[in-house]
Amino acid sequence: MEPKVAKTYYSRPEIQQALLRFAKEREIGVMFDGYFGKRPDVLENIYDIKKVVEKGVFSFHCSEERWTNPLLLGTEKNEEDRNKNRSGWDLILDLDGKAFEYSKIIGKIILDFLGELHIKSVSVKFSGNKGFHIAVPFEAFSSQIIGLGETRTFFPEAARKIASYIVYELRGKFSKALLEYEGSLEHIAEKYSIPIKDLICDDKDSLNFDYMKIIEVDTILISSRHLFRMPYSLNEKSGLASIPVKKEHLEHFERFLAKPEKVDPSKYGDFEFLAYKEEWGKDADVLLLKAYEDDYSDMISQSIHTLAKRNAEFVYEINEEVEMKDFPKTILYILDHNFEDGKKRALFVLLCYLYGIKWKSDTVKQLIEEWNGKQENALKQTYVRAQVTWFENSSKSIIPNYDNENYYKNIGIPEDVLVKDKKKFLKREMKNPLHYTHTFLAKKNSEKK
């Protein structure tokens, strides 16, 4: 996107006013040419917007959470302080696929599902490139849920549970619709040069089709202080604007409608993103309660590609120092290799392991930065930071088991490396890298005694 295009677009008073209206009570992040501005930041008046426009801003991003004072973020001493500052949060489902049509297909299925639950407080926004955001505003939830507490304190746990519940409930419909659209797994494999074995999973409810290889409904990025693209912000890659979409028109939406010169905020008043009407009541409570009642958040791992609880096990408390030379072969292999495909899954395994052995966050961040720097097509810093933030705040040690091929074999880890780890200790087979290290330390201490 040319800087002059962005400057012309953001200089329009109606665009500035639209951005300012949405920025209330939110942390703001502004993207310039390849880098983010300082955080935390806010937009309190038109002058704040004009100032970053003059500096050459490309895009505007904001928090899913609402804050009493966003500028206090980062000064909290503990989670209790952050909860006191959090005044609410919005549910944002981020759909992004290899093809724009996939996002429309999945989006329509989700909208129909929410409609069946009689939830009217749902809105849609085009992301500006190949995806959509489907949202439910905080006002659609009761402020207190009996037996759970104050809803404003539930983030990110409740949002993750809801997203996981929706994905798990609809995975069969997702798979069926995408297969019907493309015709066959063979066609998809040929179209995207994906080995057909990588498109197959053992989940019969999803027709044994790992649809998440071509479309993502992001659950892992639901984390505290995670930012999403604001309505009316431009997308750096496409040059298109992120605009509200009428729910009924999602199937027929075309990207050319988001060209900067076509965007007029006054046209979207009847279906503004995250709009709420009091007559709708607390219609999203049913979704929240179902998500807690049928809790699939443990069954859908915090990585996008895990579909069942068996794929990630809560394991093995490790309270001793672990040196890199004692890492399992699989972890050493990931650290030492470039991944053409599966970088996100490789990163997930690394973070599971490094936080599972309780390495200090600064050390983890440095190691991950070095690893990402080795990748020919490195992951975006915003993505990496979001993942690290989630693990920093997580109290559970989770990691996929070796028999989950999506996380090991299918990203290119050789079979002989896996066998060396699994068969390292002859009396029992190792389930995953944390199990390996737990057993290794126990054996080492036993030999010392």
Query: Which residues neighbour 306 within 8 Å (Cβ) at sequence distance 6 or greater?
Result: 300, 312, 400, 404, 406, 407
Residues facing residue 92 across a β-bridge: 135
CA separation for the pair 282, 278 (Å, rounded): 8
Q: Are 212 and 304 in contact (CB under 8 A)?
A: yes
Between the alpha carbon of residue 220 and those of residues 62, 102, 306, 348, 384, the distances in Å are 17, 20, 11, 10, 11
What is the β-pairing status of strands 28-31 and 59-63?
Answer: antiparallel
- Band (226; pLDDT cuts 50, 70, 90): confident
Tell me if the bond preceding 3 is cis, omega within 30° of 0: no
Which residues, other chains included, contact 273 with Cβ-Cβ below 8 Å and sequence gap of 6+?
A: 22, 123, 124, 125, 133, 135, 231, 244
pLDDT of the residue at 94: 92
Give the C-alpha distances (Å, rounded to integers) separating 382 from 29, 31, 228, 441. 11, 11, 11, 35
DSSP conformation class of 376: T
CB atoms under 10 Å from CB of 24, counted, come to 11
Helix (H) or strand (E) holding 390: helix 381-393
Confidence of residue 316 (pLDDT cuts 50, 70, 90): low
Q: State both tokens at 362.
A: 């600064």
What's residue 306's pLDDT?
36
Asked if 26 contacts 19 with a C-beta cutoff of 8 angstroms, the reply is: no
Measured CA to CA in angstroms, residue 116 lies from 81, 87, 257, 283, 297 at distances of 38, 29, 29, 12, 22
Q: What SS3 state is found at 57?
A: coil
Angstrom CA distances, 66 to 30, 43, 87, 233, 287, stand at: 17, 13, 5, 19, 20
Pick the closest to residue 365 from 391, 339, 396, 395 (CA basis). Answer: 391
3-state SS assignment for residue 29: strand
Question: How many angstroms separate the Cα of 109 from the Cα of each of 93, 106, 122, 134, 304?
Answer: 13, 5, 13, 11, 18
What's the rounded mean pLDDT across residues 219-234?
83
Closest residue by Cα to residue 410 from 305, 324, 332: 305
Sign of CA dihedral 277, 279, 285, 286: negative
Question: Phi/psi zone of residue 5: left (φ > 0), alpha (ψ -120 to 50 degrees), beta?
Answer: alpha
Confidence of residue 180 (pLDDT cuts 50, 70, 90): very high
Predicted confidence at residue 144, as pLDDT, reads: 87
Distance of CA 254 to the CA centre of its chain: 24
Once rounded to an integer, what is the mean pLDDT over residues 284-312? 58
pLDDT average, residue stretch 82-107:
93
Residue with the bigger pLDDT between 161 and 449: it is: 161
| Mean pLDDT, rounded, for 218-226 | 71
Every domain of the chain and the residues it spans: 309-448
CB-based burial, 295-327: b 16+ in 10 Å, e otherwise:
ebbebbbbbbbbbbeebbbebbebeeebeeeeb
What is the share, in percent, of the chain residues with pLDDT greater than 70? 91
Q: How confident is the model at residue 333 (pLDDT cuts 50, 70, 90)?
A: very high
What letter would DSSP give residue 218?
Answer: E
| pLDDT(220) > 60 | no
Closest CA to 97 of 31, 182, 168, 195: 182
Residues 124-160: tens digit of each pLDDT: 999 999 999 999 999 999 998 766 788 999 898 899 8
Tally: H helices and E strands in the chain: 14, 14
Residue 269, judged by CB atoms within 10 A of its CB (0-12, 13-18, 19+), counts as exposed
Which residues, at least 6 apart from 151, have a Cβ–Cβ distance to it below 8 Å? 88, 138, 141, 142, 143, 144, 145, 158, 288
Most confident range (mean pLDDT) of 26-40, 68-82, 156-170, 246-260 is: 246-260
Structure letter (DSSP) for residue 129:
S
Q: What is the DSSP letter of 200?
A: B
